[in-house]
């Protein structure tokens, strides 16, 4: 970590998603929304957390072509943006970004981060990143595993084994989303961490790993690096595969840095409520709201709706989200069912709302 100029961040910001409708749309997915409790987008918060660790000119943000302008708007002007012409999961994304970085600096040390998570203790997070980069300095890819706080069935886990240094463990295996019983066992064992999709490596090491485990992708990345104008044609031909199953699970050795920094994957409007600043009654609402017998509600106003006066009378545990063209009301506990609304809009061909 002595030479910051060699540290690059690949921020994966191409995600779409329906779980934050009506705020999230094709053109404003989750990472471009202020869902972390502050006024900045999750992507901007992700970038902010790296200040002092990654020089702005070493930020490589991979997004989707249709999100290019909106993504650029929240990034420092020095950042590089790679716009994927098609969604091909994380392995092609990381390959393209890693090859690009390698072309700039053969000694680059890379951290790969999702753009749409929230972190309550950014300083602890940065300490984990530094540890993971150090661990990866010897040639072994590293990841951060989140210390679980509940028997979550919605995440993948990483089983860890022996310690290989202060705060660094060997990965034993990746496991898919478990059922409730299995998740409880994982939590009790203390040997399972949540897979948060963060990876740390020297650029050359990842190139080698991809060349070994996804040789076709490596060739495609070679070609895209040789002919950047060909990306539009070449990228969509890449196999859609995650870096986890395509590479990470196949590595002979992988290091895991256990992390406990208030990580939240911001998976639903309920998470947004958890992350928000609450009043004494647990409401996360715009300033100036009139609240009478109202408890634990989330109200989110977006676009020109901001500044509107919200009055809640006698309601609890509701989610109310308003954009300029849509209004959603549901109980927090139904947050996972929002997909049904989006499907309805798709069936009704209301594409302007998607």
From CA 187, how far away is CA 162, in angstroms rounded? 18
Q: Which residue among 154, 189, 329, 346 contacts a second copy (CB under 8 A)?
A: 329
Q: Is 73 helix (H, G, I), strand (E, B) or coil?
A: helix
Q: Considering only 53-61, 153-161, 189-197, 301-309, which stretch makes contact with a second copy by CB under 8 A?
A: 301-309
Q: Which of residues 190-249 bind a second copy (CB under 8 A)?
A: none
97 membership: H or E segment, kind and range: helix 90-104
Under the binding rule (CB under 8 A), the answer on residue 346 touching a second copy is: no
From CA 104, how far away is CA 165, in angstroms rounded? 31
Q: Which of residues 8-47 bind a second copy (CB under 8 A)?
A: 21-22
Contact assessment for residue 100 and residue 241, using Cβ atoms and an 8 Å cutoff: no
Q: Is 161 helix (H, G, I), strand (E, B) or coil?
A: strand
319: its two tokens = 């989610």
Closest distance of CB 271 from a second copy, Å: 17
Half-sphere exposure of 270 (CA within 13 A, CB side): 11
Under the binding rule (CB under 8 A), the answer on residue 344 touching a second copy is: yes
Under the binding rule (CB under 8 A), the answer on residue 338 touching a second copy is: yes
- Give the nearer residue to a second copy in terms of CB position, either 74 or 318: 318
- Give the nearer residue to a second copy in terms of CB position, either 62 or 319: 319
Closest distance of CB 26 from a second copy, Å: 16
- Nearest alpha-carbon partner for 196 in 273, 251, 248: 248
Beta pairing partners, 192: 159
Under the binding rule (CB under 8 A), the answer on residue 78 touching a second copy is: no
Closest distance of CB 180 from a second copy, Å: 23
Under the binding rule (CB under 8 A), the answer on residue 103 touching a second copy is: no
Say which residues have a Cβ less than 8 Å from residue 156's Cβ, sequence separation at least 6. Answer: 174, 175, 176, 177, 194, 195, 244
Size of the site for a second copy (CB under 8 A): 37
Q: Pairing mode, if any, of strands 109-114 and 7-13? A: parallel
Contact assessment for residue 235 and residue 229, using Cβ atoms and an 8 Å cutoff: no
From CA 263, how far away is CA 122, in angstroms rounded? 9
State the angle between helix axes of 122-136 and 42-49 in degrees (0 to 180), rounded to the nearest 10. Answer: 60
Under the binding rule (CB under 8 A), the answer on residue 313 touching a second copy is: yes
Q: Considering only 213-221, 226-234, 274-282, 306-314, which stretch makes contact with a second copy by CB under 8 A?
A: 306-314
- Give the nearer residue to a second copy in terms of CB position, either 104 or 344: 344
What distance, in Å, lies between the first and last C-alpha atoms of the chain?
43
Q: Which residue among 40, 234, 315, 351 contacts a second copy (CB under 8 A)?
A: 315
From CA 271, how far away is CA 332, in angstroms rounded? 9
Closest distance of CB 29 from a second copy, Å: 18
Q: Is 299 helix (H, G, I), strand (E, B) or coil?
A: strand
Closest distance of CB 283 from a second copy, Å: 12
Q: Considering only 40-48, 205-213, 227-235, 319-327, which stretch makes contact with a second copy by CB under 8 A?
A: 319-327
245 membership: H or E segment, kind and range: helix 243-246
Closest distance of CB 335 from a second copy, Å: 9
DSSP 287: T
Under the binding rule (CB under 8 A), the answer on residue 280 touching a second copy is: no
Q: Considering only 33-41, 145-153, 162-170, 341-349, which stretch makes contact with a second copy by CB under 8 A?
A: 341-349
Under the binding rule (CB under 8 A), the answer on residue 353 touching a second copy is: yes
Q: Which residue among 150, 229, 287, 314 contacts a second copy (CB under 8 A)?
A: 314
From CA 222, how far away is CA 240, in angstroms rounded? 17
Q: Give residues in contact with a second copy (CB under 8 A).
A: 21-22, 290, 292-293, 299, 301, 305, 308-315, 318, 320, 322, 324-331, 333-334, 337-338, 340-341, 344-345, 350, 353
């Amino acid at each position: 970590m002595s030479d910051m100029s060699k540290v690059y961040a690949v921020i994966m910001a191409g995600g779409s998603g329906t779980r934050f409708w009506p705020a999230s749309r094709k053109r404003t997915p989750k990472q471009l929304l202020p869902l972390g409790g502050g006024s900045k987008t999750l992507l901007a918060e992700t970038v902010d957390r790296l200040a002092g660790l990654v020089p702005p000119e070493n930020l490589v943000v991979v997004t989707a072509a249709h999100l290019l302008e909106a993504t650029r708007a929240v990034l420092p002007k020095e950042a590089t943006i790679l716009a994927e012409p098609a969604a091909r999961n994380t392995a092609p994304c990381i390959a393209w970004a890693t090859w690009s970085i390698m072309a700039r600096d053969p000694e680059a040390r890379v951290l790969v981060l999702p753009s749409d998570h929230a972190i309550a203790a950014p300083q602890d997070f940065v300490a984990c990143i530094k540890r993971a980069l150090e661990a990866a300095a010897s040639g072994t890819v590293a990841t951060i595993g989140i210390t679980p706080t509940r028997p979550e069935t919605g995440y993948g886990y990483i089983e860890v084994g022996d310690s290989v240094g202060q705060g660094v463990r060997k990965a034993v295996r990746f496991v898919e989303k478990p059922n409730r019983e299995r998740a409880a066992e994982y939590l009790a064992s203390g040997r399972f961490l949540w897979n948060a999709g963060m990876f740390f490596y020297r650029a050359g090491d990842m190139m080698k790993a991809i060349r070994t485990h996804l040789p076709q992708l490596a060739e495609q990345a070679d070609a895209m690096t040789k002919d950047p104008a060909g990306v539009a044609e070449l990228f969509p031909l890449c196999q859609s595969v995650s870096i986890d199953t395509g590479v990470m699970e196949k590595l002979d050795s992988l290091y895991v840095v256990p992390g406990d920094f208030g990580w939240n994957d911001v998976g639903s409007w309920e998470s947004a409520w958890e992350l928000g600043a609450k009043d004494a009654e647990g409401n996360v609402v715009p300033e100036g709201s009139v609240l009478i017998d109202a408890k634990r509600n989330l109200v989110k106003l977006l676009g020109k709706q901001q500044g509107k006066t919200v009055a809640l009378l006698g309601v609890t545990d509701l989610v109310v989200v308003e954009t300029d063209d849509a209004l959603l009301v549901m109980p927090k506990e139904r947050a996972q069912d929002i997909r049904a609304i989006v499907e309805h809009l798709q069936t009704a061909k209301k594409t302007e709302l998607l």
